[in-house]
Amino acid sequence: MAVERCLEATGVSKQYTDFWGRPTVLAVEALDLVVAPGEVVGLLGPNGSGKSTTVKMLVDLLRPSRGSIRLFGRSPRDPLVKARLGYLPEESCGYPYLTGLETLHFYGRLQGLDGSRLTARVATVLDEVGLRAGRERRVGQYSKGMQRRLGLAQALLGQPALLLLDEPTSGLDPLGRRDVKALIRRLAAAGSAVLLSSHLLAEVEDVCDRLLILHRGRTLASGAVGDLLRQPQGLRATLPQLAPERAAELLAAIRPLDEAATTEPLISRLEAYFLAVVAAAGAEGRDA
Amino acid sequence: MRSAAALAQLTLRAAWRGGSARLVAALLLALALTLPLVLRDDGTVAGRATLLVRLSLTLSQSLLLVYLGWLAADLPARERSDRQIHLLQTRPASLASRLVGRWVGLQVLDATLLLLVGLGLAGNLTWRAGAAPTDRAPGPTALQTLAAWRRYPGQPDPPRLPPGGQQTWRFDNLAAAPRRVDGSSRQPSELRLRYRPRAAGAGPQLDWQAAGSRLSGAVTASNGVVTCPLPADTDGVLTVTNRSPREVVWSGRDRPTLLQPAGGFAANLLRALLLCWLQGGLLAALGLLAGHLWEFATAACVVGGYLLLAVHVPWLPASPRAGLAALAVSAVAPLVQTWPVPDLAAGWRLAASPAAALLAGQTLLCLLLASLLAGRREAAGGEPV
Ligand SMILES: Nc1ncnc2c1ncn2[C@@H]1O[C@H](COP(=O)(O)OP(=O)(O)OP(=O)(O)O)[C@@H](O)[C@H]1O
Ligand SMILES: [Mg+2]
């Protein structure tokens, strides 16, 4: 029995045209993509490579010029499909005159929630994105990171089976990024499928099971992150307890195995260092 | 339903918190307070009250229509340019429910503001009716005067009455006029005609004959308006003899018109406000559609153009044979006529007329064209509708 696919795109292309129908930009070309439940897939590519165009086609904001898109085996225009979808656009787009809480209530009602279910759901997503403290402030006064968190919160409102996130961590501080990455992993573990676009390599590497590299609309590579990055030859050993003065000793011991072996001091990544420093300073940090 | 309610609430919040609704409410209040101070009337309670009602309603409704049209076009257009449309379109709520929700929100706003106008007006007039009237003779108070009248213009037109001449007029729709609740007879009527006095003195001496019985000349003239009370059973044919030494000619708006009282002041004010509200609803719907299809500048032009057209209707030929344009435009005529309250039944007759069908056809065609254009714009990479 085939597992239900959350998302299946075959041969999807998007040709932008001018008013008279003359082609201008071929933003996406013959894209094939499948996302299964519980999977996190990353769309990776430089600026202008067609990531946002792809996501917009998947949520029916743009019509593909060629190819077919099925979400949960149906057309993306189907309201049943939309009810199971969460979308975070590239740019934040709340109503500046509403407070964060009102914004979520508004989108929740459009999603079909009401009454105590809505209130409970709003409280949950506010906690999940760490926006509880700022919920009574007007969206127009939000910082960029807060707006991003609000965008994420509205995407999560309907407990979506498929989440499409266009650059979810742009504008977020490292703590926010860490939280969002953890959130995405949690959602995937609970069975949701997530498709996220980004040009931050570390982020995609950390959180995605599979990735797709786009360049000028064409798919350059796709597959499981582990498979794509694994080098069939070679090995890296980490010895966190070994003092750097003993590197010569170690090299001498392993040179007979591999002539090209090298050693270098263990350096932590800036992100890990930053998080450790902030944690040490006792910053609570989860709430924006 | 849920999403429509959410959109209605959003619309109200946008208007209130954006400050525009507060500004308009303040302007309406200022109008209600200052208008009585600057008005110059003919010195009678009735004259002043009529002037006040007409001016208040006309000015307030003009302001309200412009505001509603602007708001209706602006909200959806801004939703697109600020990209909030992306989050609306990816929800299961349909476009229709979103449009309905917005429209309901605008209509609630309109109703609230109209209520403000109505309360201001009624309060003002009640206060003035209580104040000492400037008329020397004890006359009707303002509120009594302001009962609206149903109008039956007489045929033929223009009537020309030489001295000693006789003229028979038919008042065509009189037979269809509503009867009293007990069904026995019609309400008492009044014949009213306006003339421009060429010489000082009383108006023409006229004798009236209605339903065979002679009713000689209880004619009163005030401010060029001749009124003559008629019995309740007037049957729609009137014979008039001119006993004055000069010819009398009436035409156009001055021609003899049979008037029947159509409700008291409060009922009429409510009807007028309802009419204003319906007009606002029409404009709001138009503005919303335009705002959904085009960016604000274009949508505002469409709405403004429609308003201009509607305001200029009285200057266009009213005859149904006066050309297709006039025909189509006549369907929006009620937009400028709120007092005296026009016969609401006329609106239904209009809706069933060829003019309305033509207008509906044109609207459909425009919508089709607009949706084609919108489709094109999506292909060109603009935001989808
Ligand atoms: N509305 C549009 N009309 C015409 N061309 C467009 C439109 N939107 C995007 N493009 C073009 O399509 C290509 C892909 O754009 P897209 O926004 O999908 O890139 P992206 O990968 O999301 O880039 P970024 O990382 O900067 O967000 C670009 O060359 C862009 O210029
Ligand atoms: Mg993008």
Closest residue by Cα to atom 1, ligand 1, is: B381
Q: What is the pLDDT of residues B19-43, one digit of tens each?
A: 999 999 999 999 888 887 787 766 6
Closest residue by Cα to atom 17, ligand 1, is: A52
Torsion of CA A224, A228, A233, A236, to 10 degrees: -80
User: What 3-state class would DSSP assign to A60?
Assistant: coil
Inter-chain contact A110–B92, Cβ cutoff 8 Å? yes
B354 versus A40: the higher-pLDDT residue is A40
Which chain A residues touch B3 with a CB distance below 8 Å? Answer: 109-110, 112
Q: What is the pLDDT of residues B223-239, one digit of tens each?
A: 555 666 666 555 666 67
Q: What spacing in Å lies between the alpha carbon of A28 and ligand 2's midpoint?
A: 12
Question: What is the model's pLDDT at position B332?
Answer: 44
Residue in B13, B17, B381 closest to A16 by CB: B381
Residue in A25, A95, A110 closest to B3 by CB: A110
Q: What spacing in Å lies between the alpha carbon of A262 and ligand 1's midpoint?
A: 43
> Looking at CA atoms only, how far is residue A254 from chain B in angstroms?
58
Split at pLDDT 50, 70, 90, the class of B181 is very low
Report which of B254, B225, B260, B237 is spatially closest to residue B167, judged by C-alpha positions. B237
> Looking at CA atoms only, how far is residue A159 from chain B in angstroms?
13
Q: Tell me which DSSP letter residue B333 carries.
A: G
Inter-chain contact B91–A107, Cβ cutoff 8 Å? yes
Inter-chain contact B87–A62, Cβ cutoff 8 Å? no
- Residue B304: partners with Cβ closer than 8 Å, 6 or more residues away: B69
B59 versus B46: the higher-pLDDT residue is B59
Tokens found for residue B330: 């006549």
Q: Looking at ligand 1, which atom is closest to the CA of residue A16? A: 4
Q: What is the C-alpha to C-alpha distance for residues A98 and B11, in angstroms, rounded to an integer?
A: 11
Q: Are A12 and A67 in contact (CB under 8 A)?
A: yes
Q: What is the C-alpha to C-alpha distance for residues B310 and B181, in angstroms, rounded to an integer?
A: 36
Q: What spacing in Å lies between the alpha carbon of B380 and ligand 1's midpoint?
A: 12
Split at pLDDT 50, 70, 90, the class of A173 is confident
Inter-chain contact A109–B3, Cβ cutoff 8 Å? yes
Inter-chain contact A93–B82, Cβ cutoff 8 Å? yes
Q: What is the C-alpha to C-alpha distance for residues A78 and B116, in angstroms, rounded to an integer?
A: 44
Q: What is the C-alpha to C-alpha distance for residues A91 and A80, in angstroms, rounded to an integer?
A: 25
**Which residues surround ligand 1 with Cβ inside 6 Å?**
A 16, 24-25, 27, 45, 47-53, 90, 199; B 381
Span of A184-188, B25-29, B170-174, B278-282 with lowest mean pLDDT: B170-174
Residues with CB under 5 A from ligand 2 (ion): A 51-52, 90
Q: Tell me which DSSP letter residue B314 carries.
A: G
CA distances B35 to B52, B57, B145, Å, are: 8, 11, 20
Question: What is the model's pLDDT at position A264?
Answer: 79
* Chain B residues 11-40 with CB within 8 Å of chain A: 13-14, 17-18
Residue in A21, A24, A89 closest to B87 by CB: A89
Q: Which residue of B has its CA nearest to A93?
A: B84
A vs B, Cβ pairs < 8 A, gives: 82
Q: Are B169 and B208 in contact (CB under 8 A)?
A: no
The structure tokens 């707006």 sit at: A147
Question: What is the model's pLDDT at position B268?
Answer: 72
B304 versus B114: the higher-pLDDT residue is B114
Q: What is the C-alpha to C-alpha distance for residues A251 and A242, in angstroms, rounded to an integer?
A: 13
B151 CB within 8 Å of a chain A CB: no
Q: What spacing in Å lies between the alpha carbon of A204 and ligand 2's midpoint?
A: 15
Global pTM? Answer: 0.76
> Looking at CA atoms only, how far is residue B110 from chain A in angstroms?
20
Q: Which of A211-220, A256-265, B128-137, B180-189 has the highest mean pLDDT?
A: A211-220
Inter-chain contact A87–B82, Cβ cutoff 8 Å? no
What DSSP string describes A92-116? ----TTSBHHHHHHHHHHHTT--HH
Phi and psi for A285 in degrees, rounded to 5? 75, -20
Q: What is the C-alpha to C-alpha distance for residues A245 and A243, in angstroms, rounded to an integer?
A: 6
Split at pLDDT 50, 70, 90, the class of B132 is very low
Closest residue by Cα to atom 16, ligand 1, is: A50
Q: What is the C-alpha to C-alpha distance for residues A108 and A61, in angstroms, rounded to an integer?
A: 20
- Residue B178: partners with Cβ closer than 8 Å, 6 or more residues away: B186, B187
Q: Are A89 and B383 in contact (CB under 8 A)?
A: no
pLDDT of A105 strictly over 90: yes
pLDDT of A221 strictly over 70: yes
Q: What is the C-alpha to C-alpha distance for residues A67 and A60, in angstroms, rounded to an integer?
A: 13
Phi and psi for B18 in degrees, rounded to 5? -70, -15
Q: If you average pLDDT over every residue of chain A, what do you get?
A: 87
pLDDT of A272 strictly over 50: yes
Inter-chain contact A79–B384, Cβ cutoff 8 Å? no
Which chain B residues touch A85 with a CB distance below 8 Å? Answer: 90
The strand pair at B225-230 and B220-222 is best described as: antiparallel
pLDDT of B318 strictly over 80: no
Burial of B192 (C-beta count, 10 Å sphere; 0-12/13-18/19+): middle
Q: What is the C-alpha to C-alpha distance for residues B303 and B292, in angstroms, rounded to an integer?
A: 13
Inter-chain contact A106–B9, Cβ cutoff 8 Å? yes
Torsion of CA B266, B268, B272, B275, to 10 degrees: 120
Q: What's the count of helices (H) and strands (E) in chain B, helices before strands?
A: 11, 11
Q: What is the pLDDT of residues B240-265, one digit of tens each?
A: 677 667 676 665 666 666 666 666 67
Ligand at shortest distance from the CA of A50: 1
Inter-chain contact A102–B89, Cβ cutoff 8 Å? no
Q: Are B328 and B358 in contact (CB under 8 A)?
A: yes
Q: If you average pLDDT over every residue of chain B, what do you get?
A: 70
B91 CB within 8 Å of a chain A CB: yes
Q: Looking at ligand 1, which atom is closest to the CA of residue A53? A: 18
Q: What spacing in Å lies between the alpha carbon of A155 and ligand 2's midpoint?
A: 17
pLDDT of B202 strictly over 50: no
Closest residue by Cα to atom 7, ligand 1, is: B381
Q: Residue B286, Cβ neighbours under 10 Å: how many?
A: 21
pLDDT of A10 strictly over 80: yes
A219 versus B202: the higher-pLDDT residue is A219
Span of A17-31, A57-71, A139-153, B99-113 with lowest mean pLDDT: A17-31
Q: What spacing in Å lies between the alpha carbon of B257 and ligand 1's midpoint?
A: 69
Question: What is the model's pLDDT at position B180?
Answer: 44
Span of A197-206, A275-284, B46-55, B339-348 with lowest mean pLDDT: B339-348
The beta strands (E) that lie in A109-209 are given as 162-166, 193-198
Q: What is the C-alpha to C-alpha distance for residues B93 and A224, in angstroms, rounded to an integer?
A: 36
What DSSP string describes B142-168? HHHHT--EEEEE-BSSS-EE-TT-EEE
Inter-chain contact B381–A61, Cβ cutoff 8 Å? no
Which chain A residues touch B294 with a CB distance below 8 Å? Answer: none
Q: Residue A60, Cβ neighbours under 10 Å: how many?
A: 21
Question: What is the model's pLDDT at position B327?
Answer: 39
Split at pLDDT 50, 70, 90, the class of B140 is low
Q: What is the C-alpha to C-alpha distance for residues B195 and B202, in angstroms, rounded to an integer?
A: 11
Split at pLDDT 50, 70, 90, the class of B190 is low
Q: Which residue of B has its CA nearest to A164?
A: B90
